Structure 1
Amino acid sequence: MATQSSLRSRGMELLVSYHQNPSVRLRNQLVQMNAGLVRKIAHRVSHQCAEPYEDLEQIGYLGLIRAIERFNPNQGCAFSSFAVPYIRGEMLHFLRDRAGTVKIPRRWQQLNKEGQRVREQLMEAFGRQPSDEEIADVLKVSVNEWRESKLAAKNRLPLSLDATVCQQLDSPMTLGDTLPDVRYQALQVLEEDRQQLQRALNQLEDKTRQAIEYVFLHDLSRKEVAEQIGVSPMTVTRRIHRGIQQMVGLLHPQVMQSDP
């Protein structure tokens, strides 16, 4: 327990350091510390699709890097909880991009049809299920080609969204459970925008930040805000205008740099 606690503490220290002063060295350290999380998710997803575990793991690291770059330690959220949607989302995007209409080569169609006939003949001769090696030997093809033709024929069949793809400890996971949740993705984008706005807001001078928060978050009038922070209503207006311009520059620095 002490070791796990110290690792979490070290991880948060690195996240704070990266948030304050990003660097490739710190990012690589954080990737190494959280590699187990990527492997765990890749292992689960690999049981829900035909893609190799190794490919999913590599894609998952892209999601981990995105999570590291967007995580704000000041929000009070555990990094693992924050990172999981990014890692799993990258894998699901990868699977979605590779999906499409399955077109089986004519040779494989013929090979699969002939293979089924050979299987029946060998079952009758041996009194048991023949192995892939035995079927491939009769077909005079490699074992790998025979297996690929079988897999192609299997994947060509449409699946119900209620089809079980993985048996969890408490309940089965269906194909529909693995599909991206559009509403969740939209909420995730909104949360990312909120965090970026909060990060920019936190970089403003205190009274400027307070003026913006009072007006836009607490719906106070400029006169009420002036009384709260001890300045004139005109000063409040100027602070809000200046603060918004500063936030725009923080959120879109490339736009501000291109202005004359």
Structure 2
Amino acid sequence: MSTPPTRNPVSEEELLQRYHRDGDFAARAEFVERTMPIVHHVARRYAQRGQSYDDLVQAGSIGLLKAVDRFDLDQGVKFATFAIPNITGEIRRHFRDHGWGMRVPRDVQERDALLSKVKERLVRKLQRMPSIGELAAESGLTKEQVLDTMEAARNYTTVSLDAPIDEERSELDLLGGRDAGYAQVEHHLQLVAGMKTLRDRERRILAMRFAEGLTQSEIAGQLGISQMHVSRLLRQALAQMADTLRDEEASDRPALADATG
């Protein structure tokens, strides 16, 4: 029994010709499958930079498809030479769109990419994490630039305010706090309400004592009355203000009970 002759596989160039000249999408699909190793080759360059390898391959695959559609058979250029810039561009675009949690200047992003390569090279060489000085010397940057870039790299990813810290708290629970200004405003309004119930001389005495910081003797000298008289007027004014505030709080309670009950 004779063995059937083996068929020579279709060359990649012929697959491209079938697609571009005949519109054969099956040939396009087979060509893309054969050239996927180019995508993986480029994606590996950008691995370990905060994005999943599968996402990088997916982005690079888009660049590969674009390269297949744009490739000119008559230019005499190897497909890989034409495709790699397209694949690289899509992967970099993926990083621009999804990489940095907060937008940072392009030169900082470029320094961060440079430091990533330098750090990886030095770790292999030194068998330990390099120092700031070693990173600066190897990369040609200053120590200040290295530190600034490392600080900016913290913006690469952001954390949702809903991200849990433990079973009962999230990141949002760590933000904010009680503002003392609200209490100050409330106290000021209470003070104004109490002052309105006083006579002009009593309001003036309170202002001289608590706003200007004068002693009772100094107030008495300016008003031409005795220190004992000043002391009595102060006690009466403060007691009257306290009574007014207590009356207002008592009148507010029923309204509050109606609103909440």
TM-score by length of 2: 0.38
Larger RCO, structure (CA 8 Å, separation 6 or more)? 1
TM-score (norm 1): 0.38
